[in-house]
């Protein structure tokens, strides 16, 4: 429940429905509480502002008679095409770059790595570029989203008709995650502090619960209310969640730079949010990867989810090394950007206080032969807990102190044929095999990698049957 | 109308040693034009001679009470007032720029789909006749087009000109005797609407269909944009008219969502039927049963208002000021 709703509830409870004078009854909806509806910093299309409409007015997005800007009107009475492709979308007219419709210039929207992770070197400052292959290595495919959300079995709001053609005005990919009439900005006053850490007051409510009715701001945190401000909407609902580092120099934590660990009390529960789509039952085809996406069973299977590590894990802070039921749970946004990223698979440019692109700025397409993923994993996992010469050697091959499921047999690193390493002596220092070969969502020993098509070797030290490798 | 003939007609075009009409001949021995008779220099409703006639243009600001708050009475009638559109070129969006009141622009009506009309100084919008709204729109002469209408008081059914709502030929409706000079939920006009199923449905008896004679594309969901949307259903390309908001649930809680809901005079809903005994203070929105119909008049004044696009409320100033009339129906969008 929003703050204003709460007080309205109290007023109604005390005095009955508000009536300004007999006959006039107008219910108060949430639009004015949204970022778009704000009269100070809300939506303001240049042409409509020039026609005398104040900021936040419906006419900035909706053309009641499809008579402004001939030929470009679209369904939902929108003034421009709702969804065309990765570069043209009604929302991107203001949340874009270059010449935009919004009075005063485009809306500044930073990456999650910038705002939550403190990666201020990231030049990205708008959503349109976040979805562009010209500036990002990967991004959510907007047409794929439309096809998924608009499928007959779903027909989610703003994606209501299954046409097999995403380029229709009755669907808009942005609306799957952001209800335009409810969503709040972060920070609330976009003209100020737009480059700041995510703010204490407005860090939540930037998404709306997918396919909820009524539409629910997801993660909003104002006054306690069991109806919508449920603690489940925040990562603190997982007792073993830890805020990643925003900075490791003088330790501060995501998402707002707090110097104290909040255990997810400040963070939106993006696990519940993202797994509305990315779960273990939905089949989602990626037009970019030319395959079905890996399924994700975060609650019951994945170790980065709510399942436990099989054995010892050697960690960097804020996570503790150990064995047994450590059971840390990660948020999807601890590793992934929501819109687009400089790395493949929407991997953030900065994770747990470390920049993932420092050694391989592209971290882009060579996911099979390179070792770029090690940069991601090593932000949280310690690659050399025993100080050996090779990253990741200890954790894979030492079975005395740390988790080393594969016995180290010098001269036989390429056995059996097609095994882990190409040469018998193992990889040269600095040329480790790519983590992705064995570790990805849903990966299990004995399973087949959907990209490399290689088989994940069974461990020499079997801990249960076909243990998960992710 | 039952008043002395001389109130409107002149036998010899002479009175008090002066011509009544110098510039032009008036058909039917009228002593003035439509605009002349329906114009006042005061904001009163009844002129000193006791003739009751609706003033559609006052040459002084009549004031405007967009919420029609009874405690803040302003004598603007149901169709609004041409006062504001008469304010020069900068005010041209505030009403219909009728000949004799406001200058003409050379353009076709916004949303025109079929009329083919272009109004300019040579063929301006008029009150009646072929380029007007009132009377027989097939007749060139304004006076001739409304022949007999001022002398008739037959029941309104839209079947004849004399039986048409406000002399809008063919339109049905229920007329408030004082043109909403006083206005409450039970003391008002009742506009004729219909529950459409198909986009192409059109009936001359509907107030919105009447507007569509010139603003035709605005009556249809798909007309004139090149975007095909033949179904008369959401998602809409244009805001629909002749659609019932009753029973829609979701964001539509007109009148606070009560059942029946209090009628909102600032956003009047039309109806397919007319209640016995006059307008009701409430509207049945329990289903799409023909009682809660959106019409053009739900948002616009036919003559003029202080606001652009002749809107009933100062929508441009909302949020932060003005009034969000949209929010009367789209109650979660406020």
Summarize pLDDT for A352-389 with one digit per residue, the tens.
999 887 555 455 544 555 667 888 899 999 988 888 77
Q: Which residues of A touch B324 (CB under 8 A)?
A: 26, 58
Q: Which residue of B has its CA nearest to A53?
A: B316
Q: What is the mean pLDDT of each run of 10 residues along chain B (334 residues)?
A: 81 81 77 90 60 83 81 83 93 95 89 85 95 96 94 94 97 94 92 91 93 88 59 84 91 88 96 93 95 97 97 96 94 82
pLDDT(A205) > 60: yes
Candidates B229, B258, B318; nearest CB to A54: B318
Chain B, nearest residue to A65 by Cα? B238
Could you read off the pLDDT of A423-442 as tens digits, one per residue? 787 777 666 678 888 899 99
Give the dihedral sign, CA A140/A142/A147/A150.
positive
Closest residue to A64, CB basis, from B239, B257, B327:
B239
How confident is the model at residue A370, as a pLDDT? Answer: 62
Q: How far apart are CA A353 and CA A99, in angstroms?
A: 34
Name the pairing type of β-strands A291-292 and B173-174. Answer: unpaired
pLDDT for the residue numbered A356: 83
Nearest beta carbon to residue B185 from set A23, A67, A160: A23
Per-residue pLDDT, averaged over A74-81, amounts to 88
The reported pLDDT for the residue numbered A218 is 87
Chain A with chain B: Cβ pairs closer than 8 A: 127
Contact A73 B217 (CB under 8 A): no
Tell me if B330 and A29 make a contact (CB, 8 A cut-off).
yes
- Selected residues 41-70 of chain A with any CB under 8 Å from a CB in chain B: 42, 51-59, 64-67, 70
Whether A23 sits inside 8 A of B330 (CB atoms) is no
Predicted ipTM? Answer: 0.90
What pLDDT shows up at residue A271? 96
Binning pLDDT at 50, 70 and 90, where does residue A26 land?
low
pLDDT tens digits, residue range A309-333?
Answer: 877 788 999 999 887 666 799 999 9
pLDDT over threshold 50, residue A20: no
Q: Looking at residue B48, what is its pLDDT?
A: 47
B236 vs A contacts (CB less than 8 Å)? 75-77
pLDDT, residue A48, reads 95
Percent of chain A with pLDDT over 90: 39
């Amino acid at each position: 429940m929003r703050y204003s709703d709460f007080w309205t509830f109290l007023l109604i409870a005390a005095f009955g429905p508000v009536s300004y004078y007999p006959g006039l009854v107008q219910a108060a909806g949430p639009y004015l509480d949204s970022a778009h509806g704000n009269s100070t910093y809300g939506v303001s299309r240049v042409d409509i502002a020039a026609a005398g409409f104040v900021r936040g007015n419906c006419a900035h997005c909706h053309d009641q008679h499809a008579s402004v800007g001939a030929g470009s009107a679209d369904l939902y009475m929108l003034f421009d095409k709702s969804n065309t492709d990765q570069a043209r979308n009604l929302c991107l007219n203001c949340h874009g770059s270059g010449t935009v419709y919004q009075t005063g210039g485009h809306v500044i929207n930073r990456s999650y790595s910038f705002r939550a992770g403190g990666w201020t070197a990231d030049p990205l400052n708008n959503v349109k570029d976040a979805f562009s292959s010209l500036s990002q290595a990967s991004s959510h495919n907007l047409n794929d989203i439309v096809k998924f959300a608009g499928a007959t079995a779903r027909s989610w709001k703003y994606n209501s008709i299954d046409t097999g053609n995403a380029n229709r005005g009755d669907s808009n990919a942005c609306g799957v995650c952001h209800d335009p009439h409810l969503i709040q900005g972060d920070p609330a006053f976009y003209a100020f502090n737009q480059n700041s850490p995510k703010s204490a007051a407005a860090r939540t409510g930037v998404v709306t619960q997918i396919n909820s009715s009524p539409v629910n701001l997801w993660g909003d945190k104002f006054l306690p209310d069991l109806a919508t401000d449920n603690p489940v909407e925040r990562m603190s609902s997982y007792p073993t969640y830890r805020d990643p580092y925003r900075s490791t120099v003088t330790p501060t934590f995501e998402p707002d730079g707090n110097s104290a660990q909040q255990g997810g009390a400040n963070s939106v529960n993006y696990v519940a949010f993202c797994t509305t789509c990315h779960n273990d039952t939905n089949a989602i085809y990626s037009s970019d990867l030319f395959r079905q996406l890996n399924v994700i069973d975060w609650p019951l299977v994945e170790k980065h989810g709510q399942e436990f590590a099989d054995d010892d894990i050697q960690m960097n802070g804020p996570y503790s090394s150990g064995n047994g039921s450590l059971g840390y749970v990660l948020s999807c946004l601890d590793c992934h950007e929501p819109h687009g990223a400089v790395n493949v698979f929407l991997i953030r440019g900065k994770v747990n206080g470390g920049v993932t692109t420092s050694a391989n700025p592209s971290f882009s397409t060579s996911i099979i032969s390179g070792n770029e993923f090690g940069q991601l994993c090593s932000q949280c996992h310690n690659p050399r807990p025993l100080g050996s010469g090779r990253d990741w050697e200890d954790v894979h091959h030492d079975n005395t102190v740390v988790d080393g499921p594969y016995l180290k047999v010098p001269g036989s690193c390429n056995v059996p044929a097609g095994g882990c390493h190409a040469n018998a002596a193992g990889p040269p220092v600095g040329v480790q095999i790519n983590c992705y070969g064995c570790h990805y969502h849903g990966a299990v020993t004995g399973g087949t990698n959907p990209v490399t098509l290689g088989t994940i070797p069974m461990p020499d030290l079997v801990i249960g049957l076909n243990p998960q490798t992710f | 109308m039952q008043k002395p003939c001389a109130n409107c007609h002149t036998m010899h075009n002479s009175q008090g040693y002066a011509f009544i009409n110098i510039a032009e001949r008036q058909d039917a021995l009228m002593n003035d034009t439509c605009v002349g008779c329906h114009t006042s220099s005061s904001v009163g409703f009844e002129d000193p001679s006791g003739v009751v006639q609706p003033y559609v243009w006052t040459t002084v600001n009549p004031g405007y009470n967009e919420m029609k708050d009874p405690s803040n009475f302003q004598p603007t009638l149901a169709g609004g007032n041409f006062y504001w559109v008469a304010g020069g070129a900068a005010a041209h969006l505030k009403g219909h720029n009728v000949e004799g009141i406001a200058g003409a622009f050379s353009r076709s009506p916004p949303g025109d789909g079929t009329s083919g009309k272009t109004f300019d100084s040579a063929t301006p919008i008029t009150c009646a006749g072929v380029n007007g709204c009132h009377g027989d729109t097939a007749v060139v002469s304004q006076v001739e087009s409304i022949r007999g209408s001022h002398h008739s008081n037959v029941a309104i059914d839209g079947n004849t000109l004399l039986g048409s709502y406000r002399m809008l030929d063919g339109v049905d409706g229920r007329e408030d005797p004082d043109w909403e000079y006083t206005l409450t939920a039970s003391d008002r006009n009742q506009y004729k609407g219909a529950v459409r199923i198909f986009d192409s449905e059109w009936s001359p008896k509907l107030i919105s269909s009447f507007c569509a004679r010139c603003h035709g594309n605005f009556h249809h969901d798909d007309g004139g944009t090149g975007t095909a949307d033949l179904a008369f259903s959401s998602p809409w390309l244009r805001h629909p008219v002749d659609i019932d908001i009753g029973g829609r649930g979701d964001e539509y809680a007109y009148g606070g969502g009560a059942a029946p809901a209090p009628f909102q005079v600032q956003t009047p809903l039309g109806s397919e039927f007319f209640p016995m005994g006059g307008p009701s203070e409430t509207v049945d929105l329990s289903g799409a049963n023909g009682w809660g119909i959106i019409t053009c008049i739900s948002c616009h004044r036919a003559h003029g208002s202080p606001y652009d696009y002749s809107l009933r409320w100062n929508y441009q100033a909302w949020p932060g000021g003005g009034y969000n009339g949209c929010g009367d129906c789209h109650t979660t969008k406020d």
